[in-house]
Amino acid sequence: MKVTRFTHMLMALTVTLSAWAQGPNGSGTYYQNANALKGEALKTALSKIISTGAKDLGYDALWNAYKTTDLRPDGTIWDIYSNVTKYDPVNDHKGNYKQEGDVFNREHTTPQSWFKKASPMKSDLFHVFPTDGYVNNRRSNFPLGETKGENYQSKNGFSKLGKSTTPGFNGTVFEPADEYKGDLARVYFYMATRYEDRVSSWGGDTYGKSSYPGLAQWALNMFIRWAGNDPVSQKEVDRNNAVYKLQMNRNPYVDYPGLEQYVWGTLADKAFDYANYTAPGENKKPDNPDEPNNPDQPNKPDEPNTPGTSDNNSAVPTGKVVFKKVMSVNDLQPGGYYLIVNEKATAALGATNKGYRTSVTVPMSRFEMTAEVNGKDQPRTLTLGGKQGSYTLYDGIEKTYLAYNGTKNTLNNEKDAQNGSAQWDIDVVNDTIVRITNKQNTDRVIYYNAHQPRFACYKSSSAQQIVQLFVANVTTNIVNLPQAETLNVNVYAIDGRLIRANVEKEKALLGLPKGIYVVGKKKYVVR
């Protein structure tokens, strides 16, 4: 009897420990069959994983797929070849093109002529992107590479075509914009991995003549460099997850930033750990002088010039401000200005009125809107502070924090950010549901009351209406805003691009490629 009991306990413990071993981005145990493998063996295991169960959606299905995989927050198509297009996903792929901006089409980043239009490559969503038709046509079937663009440049010089300047290759190449070079490198890593048993027969000069490495050395060197210079973005993570829902496979090089080093690079002799992955460079400490050698930036990210805000002494933006819809928890950035809204009623949270927050009509849009804020009878922006599980929402007009003190359904004010009543857990269920739950009273959630138009704090089981969040497209000028204690920070590139959000301060720069970064209004150099 004792043996049986012990056996059951051991089995339960084993199940529990297995459940804890999870991959990134909700991938669970998807990659477990590649665990502890290295180099070529790792690549082959990954090939089997991402090929097993993968669906061929069919070429015509891609138009509909793009509605979920490649939409900007404003609902237009995300174009990686042009930065001047605003294509409607339903109608703007129809018709012919005469110039950039006419229509978008389906771009095989690995030209389909290389694999003779065979399936499933022809319809593989991971490498078939929506792009401007005219720019795509100019790219033709030339390989990706680096060039001065003497043959052609898209508007603003965003994409270029010309003689290769990439070491090891002298032909004509198409160069994408810097912000998508890492994206495309990881797509080529995916293609060389998933189709490793086919690439040796493909045309072109990019892929290799064997399953490993699977890429020509000049291209492999270039793509590894591109991937390092342009780290995985939230756009890539979101697209990876969206493609998985449709095609039922994933891109491991997005799930595991720097994985290419384990397959082909400097870490090819190190075992891959799918549940406790260490990205290249994470064990290295960056150099951190407060001021790098003369970055010479006219508009410094730590001293932004932000149209739409009031003067530098103001605690809130005023006048007309552009807001974008919060689509995931990754859009929650401490220091940002947020509106709590109810889309159905086109209403936003306003001033305090007898223990509640008033309802103010706003010009609602699905993904983006422009509203006048923080004036009389106008919506109130709330400055996000704290960290996940204990966020604060600061009203710069009333100089208090949104709180719930346990009095009926009221939505109260609190001056002390450390008080649990003024701290909130914010969960973005999807782009239509945001749950703002009080930390101290976990059965209380901010809802909208449509019958007595107002925002208040109701029981989680209440039949009141859900809320959404919109974030202002401006940067806070508040330097010493009191808030709940947080050790988490955001990391920005020197040009102002968000690289990492809400990460532990001591790990902020670990694993990043060489460059200059801004953390907490100070510049740091990673060498």
340 has a pLDDT exceeding 90:
yes
Distance, CA of 414 to CA of 403 (rounded, Å): 6
Which residue has better confidence, 285 or 201? Answer: 201
Are 53 and 284 within 8 A, CB to CB? no
Q: What is the pLDDT of residues 439-481, one digit of tens each?
A: 999 889 999 999 899 999 999 888 899 999 999 986 544 333 3
Distance, CA of 89 to CA of 66 (rounded, Å): 7
As given in the structure block, the two tokens for residue 102 are 């006419």
For 253, the 3-state DSSP assignment is: helix
346 has a pLDDT exceeding 70:
yes
Cα 59 to its chain centre, rounded Å, is 26
At residue 313 the predicted structure's pLDDT band, cuts being 50, 70 and 90, is very low
As given in the structure block, the two tokens for residue 470 are 């919109």
Distance, CA of 435 to CA of 438 (rounded, Å): 10
Residue 429: predicted pLDDT? 79
Please state the domain extents for the chain.
54-191+202-252, 319-472, 491-526
Distance, CA of 112 to CA of 51 (rounded, Å): 19
Of 190, 189, 216, residue with least CA distance to 202: 216
Q: What is the pLDDT of residues 385-431, one digit of tens each?
A: 888 888 999 998 998 999 998 878 999 999 888 888 999 999 987 66
Residue 431: predicted pLDDT? 64
347 has a pLDDT exceeding 50:
yes
Q: What is the pLDDT of residues 29-44, one digit of tens each?
A: 999 999 999 999 999 9
Distance, CA of 168 to CA of 208 (rounded, Å): 14
At residue 495 the predicted structure's pLDDT band, cuts being 50, 70 and 90, is low
Report strand pairing: 368-373 vs 356-361.
unpaired
Residue for token digits 């490495």? 213
60 has a pLDDT exceeding 90:
yes
Distance, CA of 320 to CA of 473 (rounded, Å): 11
Q: What is the pLDDT of residues 40-58, one digit of tens each?
A: 999 999 999 999 999 999 9
Percent over 90 (pLDDT), the chain: 62
Percent over 70 (pLDDT), the chain: 83
What residues pair up with 324 in beta bridges, in sequence order? 368, 471
Mean pLDDT of 212-218: 97
Distance, CA of 204 to CA of 407 (rounded, Å): 70
512 has a pLDDT exceeding 80:
no
Q: What is the pLDDT of residues 142-152, one digit of tens each?
A: 999 999 999 99
Least confident of 115-129, 234-248, 307-321: 307-321
φ, ψ for residue 435, nearest 5 deg? -105, 115
Contacts of range 465-468, beta carbons closer than 8 Å, 24 or more positions apart: 465/342, 465/344, 465/345, 466/342, 466/432, 466/433, 466/434, 466/435, 467/340, 467/341, 467/342, 467/434, 467/436, 468/325, 468/326, 468/340, 468/341, 468/342, 468/343, 468/431, 468/432, 468/433, 468/434
Mean pLDDT of 368-375: 91
| Domain 319-472 falls under CATH 2.80.10.50 | yes
Average pLDDT score over the chain = 85
Q: 25 to each of 31, 172, 239, 327, how far by Cα in Å?
A: 12, 37, 11, 15
Which residue has better confidence, 489 or 144? Answer: 144
Report the b/e string of 76-91 with b at 16+ CB within 10 A: bbbbbbbeebebebee
Residue 155: predicted pLDDT? 95
At residue 289 the predicted structure's pLDDT band, cuts being 50, 70 and 90, is very low
